Chains A and B, each alone.
Chain A
Amino acid sequence: MPGDAQAGEAQATGLPYARALKDTGLAAVVAFAILLPLVGFNTVQDISNRLVLETRFGTLAVFVALIAAATFINTAFLAPWRSRRARLARTRRTGRVAQWLSRRFAPFALGFVLVYPALVLFVTGPSGALKWIDNFGIQILIYVMLGFGLNIVVGLAGLLDLGYVAFYAVGAYSYALLAKTFGLSFYILLPLAGILAAFWGVLLGFPVLRLRGDYLAIVTLAFGEIIRLVLINWVPVTNGYAGISGVPRPTFFGIPFTAGDSGFAAIFGLPFSPVYRTVFLYYLILALALVTAGVTLRLRRLPVGRAWEALREDEIACRSLGINTTNTKLTAFAIGAMFGGFAGSFFAARQGFISPESFTFMESATILSIVVLGGMGSQIGVAIAAVAMVGGTEILRDLDFLKHIFGPDFEPTQYRMLVFGFAMVVIMIWKPRGLVSTREPTAFLKERRIISRDLVKEGRG
Chain B
Amino acid sequence: MSAPLLTVEHLSMRFGGLVAVNDVSFSAGRGDITALIGPNGAGKTTVFNCITGFYKPTVGRIALRHGEDIGQAELDRLTRRGERRLKRPGGALHLLERMPEHEVAEQARVARTFQNIRLFSGMTVLENLLVAQHNRLMLASGYTLLGVLGIGGYGRAERAAVEKAERWLEAIDLIDRADDPAGELPYGAQRKLEIARAMCTDPVLLCLDEPAAGLNPREKADLTSLIESIRSDHGTSVLLIEHDMSLIMKISDHIVVLDHGMLIADGTPDAVRHDPKVIAAYLGVAEHDVDKVKAEVAP
Residues of A within 8 A of B (CB): 295, 298-299, 302-304, 306-307, 309-310, 313-314, 316-325, 331, 439, 441-449, 451-453, 455-457
Contacts and interface: CB of A to CB of B under 8 A. Distances in A.
A445 B162 contact: yes
B102 A324 contact: yes
A457 B121 contact: yes
Nearest to B105: A322
Contacts of B111: 320-321
Nearest to B125: A445
B124 A309 contact: no
Given A321-B131, A331-B144, A445 B166 contact: yes
A234 B115 CA distance: 54
A302 B154 contact: yes
Interface stretch (B173-181, B226-234, B255-263): B173-181
Nearest to A302: B147
A306 B122 contact: no
Interface stretch (B80-88, B133-141, B275-283): B133-141
Contacts of A453: 122
B201 A317 contact: no
A318 B132 CA distance: 8
A108 to B, nearest CB: 26
B131 A320 contact: no
Contact of B181 (A306, A318, A321, A455): A455
Contacts of A307: 131, 134, 138
B123 A309 contact: yes
Given A322-B105, A324-B102, A442-B127, A455 B184 contact: yes
Contact of B144 (A302, A322, A443): A302
A322 B134 contact: yes
24 contacts: A298-B147, A298-B148, A302-B154, A303-B131, A304-B138, A307-B134, A309-B127, A310-B131, A313-B119, A314-B118, A316-B114, A317-B119, A318-B131, A319-B102, A320-B54, A321-B105, A321-B201, A322-B102, A322-B106, A323-B131, A444-B178, A449-B179, A452-B181, A455-B122
Contact of B135 (A316, A322, A447): A322
Give me the 10 closest cross-chain CB pairs, A-B, nearest first: A456-B122, A322-B105, A322-B106, A313-B120, A317-B118, A303-B137, A455-B183, A445-B178, A319-B101, A310-B131
A451 B179 CA distance: 9
B134 A314 contact: no
B134 A306 contact: yes
Nearest to A335: B144
A306 B147 CA distance: 13
A442 B161 CA distance: 14
A316 B147 CA distance: 26
Interface string B25-47: 00000000000000000000000
Contact of B126 (A319, A325, A445): A445
Contacts of A448: 179
Given A306-B134, A444-B179, 17 more contacts: A303-B131, A304-B144, A306-B131, A313-B119, A314-B119, A316-B114, A320-B105, A321-B201, A323-B135, A443-B124, A443-B127, A443-B158, A445-B166, A445-B178, A446-B179, A451-B122, A455-B181
Given A441-B123, A456-B122, A302 B201 contact: no
Nearest to A316: B118
A421 B125 CA distance: 39
Contacts of B66: none
A293 to B, nearest CB: 13
A445 B162 CA distance: 8
B197 interface: yes
Nearest to B180: A449
Contacts of B106: 322, 324
Nearest to B133: A303
Pick the most buried of B103, B124, B197: most chain A CB atoms within 10 A of its CB: B124
Contact of A313 (B100, B122, B134, B179): B122
Contact of A302 (B101, B148, B178, B180): B148
Nearest to B183: A455
B130 interface: yes
Contacts of A455: 121-122, 181, 183-184
Nearest to A449: B179
B52 interface: yes
A323 B102 contact: yes
Given A319-B105, A321-B111, A444 B144 contact: no
A94 to B, nearest CB: 11
Contacts of B112: 320
A171 B112 CA distance: 43
A455 B128 CA distance: 14
A288 B120 CA distance: 32
Contacts of B101: 319-320
A302 B146 CA distance: 10
Nearest to B154: A302
Contacts of A452: 181
A428 B120 CA distance: 25
A289 B192 CA distance: 42
Interface in B164-204: 166, 175, 178-181, 183-184, 197-198, 201
B148 A295 contact: yes
B82 to A, nearest CB: 22
A443 B122 CA distance: 13
B130 to A, nearest CB: 6
A446 B148 CA distance: 25
A321 B138 contact: no
A445 B179 contact: yes
Contact of A314 (B102, B120, B147, B181): B120
B174 to A, nearest CB: 11
B240 to A, nearest CB: 15
Given A455-B121, A457-B122, A322 B130 contact: no
